[in-house]
Chains A and B, each alone.
Chain A
Amino acid sequence: MKLIFEKSRSLRSGVSLPDSDVPNVNSIPESLLRDKSPELPEVSELDTVRHYTNLSRMNFGVDTNFYPLGSCTMKYNPKVHEDIAGLDGFNSLHPLLPQLRGGGALTQGALAVIYETEKFLCNLLGFDAFTMQPLAGAHGELTGVMLIAAYHKSKKQSQRKVMLIPDSAHGTNPASAAMAGFIPMEIPTDENCNTDINTLKKYLNDNLAGIMLTSPNTLGIFDEHTQQICSLVHDAGGLAYCDGANLNALIGKLKPAELGFDIMHINLHKTFATPHGGGGPGSGPVGVSEELIPFLPVSRVIKRSDGTYCLEYDHPESIGYTAPFYGNFSIILRAYAYLLTLGIDGLKNVSENAVLNANYIRESLKTFYTPATDRVCMHECVFSPTSQMLKNGIHALDIAKALIDKGIHPPTIYFPLITKEAIMIEPTETESLETLDVFIDAMKEIAENALNCPEMIKNAPESTKVCRPDETQAARHPDIVFTQ
């Protein structure tokens, strides 16, 4: 499709702005003005609407297609959340308004949302406090590991630089650890999909800062050593951090803090049904145990004894400001609506059905693809192509592309890195049995083609406007901006 810039016609206009009611005089000398107006599109309102509506139709979303993308929790995003986020009383609220009258008197409704979400999460997950500031999952990770750094510094243990990270972790874990000044050390996963305790034990000394564990791990498996790992790390003076990317498997069934985790980030855009937006905005609140509360980012929302809410800044040991204000407020608001709607009973159903759906897929496909493990999975299951498929030249990528022709968004592929040719499937709890069966049948048919007529799959997808873009060319000769 042509770019919006290519649809531009000189002097065509797509907006109606008010006439000026003041003299057309400004204070800016000629030398500080642009010599040419910015070359933005000149299109009608209809042009804009049709262009972007047509672009939207080239996307798969949860509302249009089954989207079993592993570790991304592509569950249904309730529509009432969008109505609530669109309320003028929330979305036109200036973030500095609390500073115009003591303690947030002008924004009581918004502060209540932040405070009550934090309290709900504390009770649900077992932590003593949450910061709602982090703007995404990786941002929550960074905040979390910065809290670990501040904690060790306060104990005059700044030599604790080693951060243990299992080899199954998301790439953001080591990257976040590095940005907080830590040295990430990789711990292998054993044959039962658990963290290798013997390797871990080698690092239990005065240089250990902590461990970052994803729970359940990225194979969709609950690490049977979780509690043991947390206590080993604690005994060595380190802290245990939980990456909550996969929290959908546990909510309402278990409080992660009770496993021994001191810190955990969660993704509101995964577990708590806020939209992914095509890659953001997300929200990555961080929960902590009591001893880490002094280090949390400022500001903090508190509830006074008279029931009003206010912002507090006076926390001398705080790591400071990790975001400009109070987090991605309208995302927090959607998550709060979700928590209120489900309540504790609804939340318990979430994890049970997410686990049931994933195991149904695992069981249905285990003779057609190679499962990463025989263990009962949690919210997601991981497969690889069979060795015969690989001999036929069919890879995880080909299977993914073939699914697109079946109207299904592909699972996550080539991750986790510890499984060769991984295909990581997370159906979520909001999908029906019929949808799962359609997916299972599609996967079976693809498996059959992969064995008997692999050429059919190598050319997939055929139903979309583009097929297998040349990524090597894109990286070698980058064209990332349109020039006329």
Chain B
Amino acid sequence: MSYIANTGEDRDLMLDKIGIDSIEHLWNATGVPEGNTDFASLSSGLSEYEVYTKLKKLSLQNSVELINFLGAGYYDHIIPAVVSAITSRSEFYTAYTPYQPEASQGTLQAIYEYQTAICRLTGMEVANASMYDGGTALFEAMMMAIRITGKRKAVISEAVSPIYREIIKCYSTNLDIELHEIPAGNLDSNHQNLIDIAGNDTACILVQYPNVFGSIEDWGNTVEQIHKKNTLAVCSVYPQALSILKTPAAMGFDIVTGEGQSLGLPLNFGGPYLGFMATEKKLMRKMPGRIVGRTTEKNGGDAFVLTLQAREQHIRRARAMSNICSNENLCALAAIVYLSSVGKQGMVRVGELCASKAVFAKNQILQIEGIEEVEENIPFFNEFVVSLPMDASEFVGKMINKGYAAGFPLGRYYKNRKKQLLIAVTEKRTKEEIKGLANSMEAVLK
């Protein structure tokens, strides 16, 4: 099955029109050389039912039945049915980039609404149409700060997701950028150290809110001091947490990015996800990525278009703000449908549920003998760290047998945290599941 409509008769009619007597001769006329095309190892086609069955079987070889307390930047939230009902409208998902505004007002207006919602969540003034993921968005924000300041040093906290830091390191390799990593405190970002290392030669600091350990830190004073050095402050945020937390705009950040997976996207084994980026109006023309704007059309009505395209690769080529071409458009659509559906009240409610369930879970877990708090009185949203009396990697392996994905062992990325476990609790988790987690943890440690 090739989903091809042409019949033998059609092909003959078309060849006749072209004036070449066979497909083979047509092919020869294209100038493509004959190759040694031994495809013997490739399978023949299967029917739709066979393909579905084969892949359904493979899907059952993944342990999705585990009760999930695993987060580390990617969270198991409730997704209202409305989201997939809209993203599976094929007028949306089988369209291309909205280069022809008359034939793409649906996509364009939805993205304008998405940009607006991102600004309302973050408190920032402008947002782009989305990027690949939270990590690449943070890298793009660093490059934007470098373009704006003309300085080539960046200071990043180790309390930023190690996954993001790896991406930033990878992309910076060939770009003559001086990247400094600042060791984290117990569960905080070590603000004084960030301020000390960020000198007048620094384009930006890069931090995360809440940080990778789940801690919520007040950045207001630090950002103020950073600004005195003509250095920009860039923050990667967890958008779900912004339902109740002080906004990054209120703390003075210049560029805000983040991973939008928590806004209505399934975990999908790593993608597609959604990077978002927001900034101040005055920095808008330095922002990378697609942007949708509202304007007027010939008959005087409102219309939406891709705008400020002079920043982009198809116009500016090697001097573009970034090489990025796509946005994660369908994911951005999912996010705006999620945010509309959950709405102002629902978003706050999700935030409160996450925060109170996480407190409940932490209290339950700290009652277990041998499990200790890493630092007292540090506020958190829906994720926290505890210290176990054993290696956390080994521990989570044992918890799998009990039916739980109990959290993320930090030792993989932080050598001095071998016994620390990062536990995420979303609104999906019930009191019963949380108690079950605590009981199983206790049983494993006995």
Contacts and interface: CB of A to CB of B under 8 A. Distances in A.
Interface in B242-296: 242-247, 250, 266-273, 284, 290-296
A315 interface: no
Contacts of A14: 82, 340-343, 346
A67 B103 CA distance: 11
Which size class do A's interface residues fall under? 35 or more
A254 B36 CA distance: 8
Contacts of A171: 312-317, 320, 325
Contacts of A51: 340
Contacts of A383: none
Contacts of A432: 5-6, 10
A401 B328 CA distance: 26
B208 interface: no
Contacts of A78: 3, 48
A5 B356 CA distance: 29
A25 B46 contact: no
A240 interface: no
A110 B352 CA distance: 34
Contact of A321 (B48, B132, B170): B170
A463 B320 CA distance: 35
A55 B105 contact: yes
A41 interface: yes
Contacts of B80: 15, 45
Contact of B397 (A101, A356, A412): A101
Interface stretch (A138-146, A231-239, A441-449): A138-146
Given A123-B42, A322-B170, A337 B51 contact: yes
Interface stretch (B113-121, B147-155, B190-198, B222-230): B113-121
B330 A281 contact: yes
Interface string A220-247: 0110100100000000000000000000
B84 interface: yes
A190 to B, nearest CB: 14
A106 B62 contact: yes
Contacts of B250: 34-35
Nearest to A99: B412
Contacts of A84: 51-52, 55-56
A356 B26 contact: yes
B100 interface: yes
A176 B362 CA distance: 46
Contact of B337 (A5, A52, A94): A52
A277 B409 CA distance: 35
Interface residues of B, number: 208
B405 to A, nearest CB: 6
B199 interface: no
Contacts of A227: 33
A415 B94 CA distance: 22
Contact of B331 (A8, A281, A359): A281
By DSSP majority rule, is chain A's interface helix, strand, loop, or mixed?
Answer: loop
11 contacts: A14-B340, A38-B120, A38-B242, A59-B91, A62-B95, A94-B68, A109-B58, A171-B316, A175-B322, A376-B26, A478-B293
Contacts of B305: 469, 471, 474
A21 B164 CA distance: 34
Contacts of A149: 173-174
Contacts of B23: 352, 356
A250 B2 CA distance: 15
B22 to A, nearest CB: 11
Contact of B347 (A40, A350, A465): A40
B58 A328 contact: no
Given A58-B106, A433-B10, A97 B63 contact: yes
Nearest to B127: A481
Nearest to A252: B39
A91 B314 CA distance: 33
Given A13-B346, A60-B103, A279-B107, A258 B3 contact: no
Contacts of B312: 171
